[in-house]
Copies of this chain bind each other. A is one copy, B any other.
Amino acid sequence: MSKLTVIAEPGKQEIVITRMFDAPRELLFTVMTDPQHVPHWWGPRGMTTIVDKMDVRHGGVWRFVHRTPDGEESGFRGVYHRVAPNEQIVQTFEWEGMPGHISLETMTLEDDNGRTRLRAVAVYQSIADRDGMLGSGMEGGMAETYDRLEELAAELLRVAV
Q: Kindly state whether residue A18 has any CB partner on chain B within 8 Å.
A: no
Copy number in the complex reads 2
- Judging by beta carbons under 8 Å apart, are A100 and B84 in contact? yes
Main secondary structure of the interface of A (DSSP, over half): strand
Number of interface residues of A (CB under 8 A): 26
Q: Which residues of A contact B (CB under 8 A)?
A: 11-14, 58-59, 61, 79, 81-82, 84, 88, 90, 92, 94, 99-100, 102-104, 106, 121, 123-126
CB-based closest 4 A-B pairs: A82-B100, A104-B104, A81-B102, A79-B79
A sample of 5 inter-chain contacts (CB < 8 A) reads A13-B123, A79-B92, A88-B100, A104-B123, A121-B125
